[in-house]
Amino acid sequence: MLLKRTKKIFTAAISLLFVLSIGYFAVLPPTSAWFYQKYDGVQKSFIFGSLAVQSDYTQSASIDLPDATKLEDNGETLFDQVIQVETINAQNTGNLPARVYLTVTQNSGNPAGLHYFYYDDSDTGTTVRDKIAGKNIITPGNASATYTALNLYNVGNGVNNNYGHYILVQPGEAKTLKIAFWVDYNAVGSTLGNTSNVAALTYNNVQITLSGVQDTDGAFTR
């Protein structure tokens, strides 16, 4: 119980670190960058002020999942009950819109089957699964096609500057960015069926990196 509480406090603290200021110092030379860190009690901000250099925010998360699920199964009614959602607050204090891309790097020592979906509350749908379905990712009954489409949505294929989904943060706007994690039943191989509310699968040191860049194709690559 203490561990989970500590985790929530830590997440709340580091969420203040990702503050974008794209374009505020647009008069700087193309190769220059300006960084400013402010420490005022518990208030921490990372302000980015160059159009030429991307701003990265990274955190290491521990993903605790109580059960497996089948995203491709339209009869799955408990999907949203077996996911973990990580949230990070992003604020654009500059005068140009900023794209925020997500990169998730998994620890090679973790179990197989971890998947994720990057979104914010403006996406269509009431539940997370509804929001995923709204992106035309799910092929009913076909896990392979579903996860191929999910991977394309998350990271793109590099063709025509497609490097995956990004969330646009307008000047002066603050958004809560969300990443939903779950474990695929097909990879686990059997139902976990954990009813004791204790995590059945834990994925340690999952690296979450958010990259803020100008709203231009090619500003971000993988």
What pLDDT is attached to residue 162? 92
Kindly list the structural domains of the chain, giving each domain's residue range(s) and its CATH number in brackets, ordered by start.
Answer: 53-214 (2.60.120)
* pLDDT, tens digit, 9 for 90 and up, residues 192-222: 555 454 457 889 999 988 888 888 898 888 8
Q: How far apart are the first and last CA of the chain?
A: 38
CA separation (Å) from 68 to 118, 140, 167, 188, 219? 19, 17, 28, 7, 37
What pLDDT is attached to residue 116? 97
Which regions of the chain are under pLDDT 70? 1-54, 189-199
For 182, phi then psi, to 5°, come to -155, 170
What pLDDT is attached to residue 88? 85
Residue pair 67/192 in contact by the 8 Å Cβ criterion:
yes
Average pLDDT, the chain: 76
* pLDDT, tens digit, 9 for 90 and up, residues 138-147: 999 999 999 9
Answering whether pTM is above 0.85, one says no
What pLDDT is attached to residue 7? 41
Distance of alpha carbon 118 from alpha carbon 153, whole angstroms: 9
